Amino acid sequence: MPSATGAEARAALEAAGQLPDAEIDLAATALQFARVDAPDADWRDAAATLTAIARAAVGAAAADHAADAGDPQARRERLLAVLHGEFGLAGDTQTYDDPANANLIRVLERRRGLPVALGILWLHAAEAAGWAAHGVDFPGHFLLAVEGTRGQALVDVFAGGTALEAPALRSLLKRVEGEAAELRPGLLRPMGKRDVLLRLQNNIKLRRLRAGALEGALACTEDMLRLAPDAAALWREAGLMNQRLDRIGAALGCLDRFLVLVPEGEAALRIRSLVEELRQRLN
């Protein structure tokens, strides 16, 4: 039976799913995902740490005239001092694939996490300071952009909050895509808050799939859909997972929803064919 904590957290995710992207509280929503994933963890202590980070960021902003005036590198340095200095956060290079690295409660307990989990804490601190910042959907590696009146500072939060200029970006891209890869337009596409949270949860989903925990991966996908009820790709994934679990009625419900969102195109044709096949199995 679902825990009261899980039910409360899922209700909060559904409420966030009805909000415009800009109104989503990024860290608070990540905390709700973490409560679902780790119902016995101390989420209140994690919430208190989030409050402490926000207060520290406000103090850092007030203490640095250059940062508060809009220098993006000064802002990066202040956030670095708060998150990596004062709170001791760092990328987990030793046990990178540990699922705890994608759970915000565990990240705050261990002070270690994946790039996107650390990025959520940077974005939380930046927002508290009154500074604009956004996630960057760089291939294979979540990055962060801290904005200012003089442009933006691109940050690798996993690598200690280091600033990234073009040579470092090129090197990072080659590590991900191979030596032939070069910088190209579109690599620094900003991410909305929903996309950041879905990227966080996608780490959990993929780890469960690799472990053969299909029911757990489906549960993660269903929770992602609470936050992003119009994410067609997730409805398709949920439908296919239900099919593999031989839950044909649930599979049809998910695939029908996909077709409402994506009524035309090659993917829709394939899903319609699958839906017809599944309906025949029910008859």
List the pLDDT tens digit at each of the 283 positions of the chain.
456 778 999 999 999 999 999 999 999 999 999 999 999 999 999 999 999 999 999 999 999 999 989 999 999 999 999 999 999 999 999 999 999 999 999 999 999 999 999 999 999 999 999 999 999 988 888 999 999 998 999 999 999 999 999 888 899 889 888 998 888 888 889 999 999 999 999 999 999 999 999 999 999 999 999 999 999 999 999 999 999 999 999 999 999 999 999 999 999 999 999 999 999 988 7
The answer to whether position 20 is within a domain reads yes
Same domain, 23 and 150: yes
Closest CA to 256 of 234, 239, 244, 242: 239
Closest CA to 78 of 63, 94, 96, 100: 63
Looking at residue 3, its pLDDT comes to 64
Same domain, 42 and 147: yes
Helix (H) or strand (E) holding 75: helix 72-80
* DSSP secondary structure, 101-167, as one string: GG-HHHHHHHTEE-HHHHHHHHHHHHHHHT--EEEE--TTS-EEEEEETTEEEEEETTTTTEE--HH
The answer to whether position 197 is within a domain reads no
How many independent structural domains does the chain possess? 2
Same domain, 132 and 49: yes
Same domain, 20 and 160: yes
Looking at residue 1, its pLDDT comes to 43
What amino acid occupies position 220? Answer: C
Looking at residue 5, its pLDDT comes to 79
What amino acid occupies position 38? Answer: A
Looking at residue 176, its pLDDT comes to 84
The answer to whether position 44 is within a domain reads yes
Q: Retrieve residue 238's tokens.
A: 């949920």
Helix (H) or strand (E) holding 73: helix 72-80
The answer to whether position 223 is within a domain reads no
Same domain, 106 and 157: yes
Question: Which of 131, 165, 191 is a domain's end point?
Answer: 191
Helix (H) or strand (E) holding 221: helix 214-227
**At what angle are helices 214-227 and 4-17 packed, to 10 degrees?**
40
The whole domain housing 67 covers: 4-191
